[in-house]
A and B are shown apart, each in its own frame.
Chain A
């Protein structure tokens, strides 16, 4: 077991924040099934059945992380936004969508995401000597729902991390962030570089236009080979939740009966 000290960590080199007033941002992009997908499993419940599924950019990654990165670059008037995805070649159409929205280039680490630690290991290995000032992840993927990868990348790179960020501003090498905490909102500050987990509120969704879609076709998408990564926690079986029983209908003119049933029958009030 690691003894919990920083001793074994090699220092990570980062470029001075805002050299020439520009921002260098890395946005983590996961591919997930569309929000309306029918969820089914195959191979005896051990794997997701992607038959007929439309794949999209994870909404938190697209709507919040990527769009806020674009806004920051636009405000700075210069900079670059690179996306990184850990996934197979089948993820490339989704990656192009992120490019169509406005990222400058994309990296795909050619590995099937096995667990959050594996994904974070790949992202950290790529990012460690590239001089990114900001690394933006989504709050969570809508399929895995872990909310783990961003924090793990931060730990691997020995960087600060703010989860559940609903606002992000950058000035003079510092980020000011609003984050949801238990029981309220905190405004926090940290020096760049850092990692941020992006949630609702940070930006408004942008629909890619025709020009963006055309431009995306020729933007660089680099495939890099994965580093070795341990698998520490693996989902080995999936199942659908038990079906709900039939709904008990209460006539509208006796609506008060609902309160009675919630008290005496369901015993929740």
Chain B
């Protein structure tokens, strides 16, 4: 029995979430694992550093057709006698992992946040307001790892890379157009996030938010009303009905901290809140707080961040 890990490695460099998943899989297996991926990614041998012994890549597949990728993963799983299949709980993983689970009649745990404890897999439920421990009852398991849940392994090994020899079948989904997210750090991958809400009064004031984000090397996010009023693009909306993120640092400026907002950000490692209302519920969820007017506080933060950057 073996462990395989399915990755979407398309893009300019291998995503951190892919390295996390390989690290997780090899810690779970207690030894080298086989990674399965697709597209024209380069540098796949470097996944050896995280514990991949071998990488099987279906070069011919360039896009996310869930059925093709499911056939690919199920085929490799069968050939490798895999009893554990690790995926990333990202857009691609959400398309593929549940399908693979059905195909292999395997229990699927979506969004595991760590190695099993007493055989149970931990995951967040109720939008981060609680966690559940899941028992997998089938002999084969599919585990989708929540990004940012494990430190990336740093070995020195190199993986062998081989081309997938099977036939993933036809695609039933055709891609007409691809729109890359704007420059800067994509929000779901970001370690640092600067976010702002209705307290910023209007889109014309976002220059301050962006400047702080730039100085920190952070991505920007916003509350739902801000996206609804088109002050900011929808892909920045975080919360229960937007994106759920778990960066190392989340700075919330002029956001009240409604429960639906917190649901998308309460997994952040450190939360800093800037609000002029001492009763703002966000302070209860924060590690650091500044009670004050964003328009006075932000310039001070930008200045301090510039100073820090100059020193290092």
Contacts and interface: CB of A to CB of B under 8 A. Distances in A.
B290 A258 contact: yes
Contacts of A60: 241
A: interface residue count bin = 35 or more
B5 interface: no
Interface stretch (A92-100, A187-195, A208-216): A187-195
B150 interface: no
Contacts of B301: 255-256, 258-259
A182 interface: yes
Nearest to B104: A2
A41 interface: yes
Contact of B15 (A116, A182, A185, A231): A182
Contacts of B149: none
Nearest to B82: A1
Interface in A223-262: 230-241, 244-245, 247-253, 255-262
Given A142-B127, A145-B110, A238-B125, A1 B260 contact: no
A146 B92 CA distance: 14
Contacts of A151: 66, 94-99
Contacts, number: 298
Given A117-B101, A234-B135, A236-B133, A187 B177 contact: yes
A116 B191 CA distance: 31
Nearest to A190: B173
Interface in A39-63: 39, 41, 59-60, 63
A262 B189 CA distance: 20
Given A143-B126, A155-B102, A232-B138, A163 B94 contact: yes
A252 B291 contact: yes
Interface string A163-198: 110100000000010011111111111110010010
A151 B110 CA distance: 12
A161 B67 CA distance: 8
A269 B137 CA distance: 42
B59 to A, nearest CB: 19
Contacts of B70: 155
A155 B126 CA distance: 26
A269 B21 CA distance: 24
A41 to B, nearest CB: 7
Most chain B CB atoms below 10 A, which of A160, A179, A181, A200: A181
A241 B109 CA distance: 19
B132 A237 contact: yes
Contact of A1 (B133, B139, B180, B293): B139
Contact of A146 (B110, B133, B288): B110
B256 to A, nearest CB: 14
A156 B100 CA distance: 11
A255 B302 CA distance: 10
A2 B75 CA distance: 10
Given A2-B103, A232-B136, A145 B178 contact: no
Contacts of A263: 308
A4 interface: yes
A189 B65 CA distance: 11
Contacts of A156: 102
A181 B62 CA distance: 13
A264 to B, nearest CB: 10
B188 to A, nearest CB: 8
22 contacts: A33-B126, A35-B127, A35-B260, A148-B101, A151-B95, A152-B102, A155-B99, A161-B95, A163-B95, A186-B63, A233-B135, A239-B133, A244-B287, A245-B287, A247-B287, A247-B288, A248-B288, A252-B292, A253-B292, A255-B301, A258-B304, A269-B249
Interface of A: 1-4, 33, 35-36, 39, 41, 59-60, 63, 115-117, 120, 142-152, 154-156, 158, 160-164, 166, 176, 179-191, 194, 197, 200-201, 230-241, 244-245, 247-253, 255-263, 266, 268-269
The 5 closest A-B pairs by CB, nearest first: A252-B292, A4-B74, A256-B304, A233-B107, A232-B107
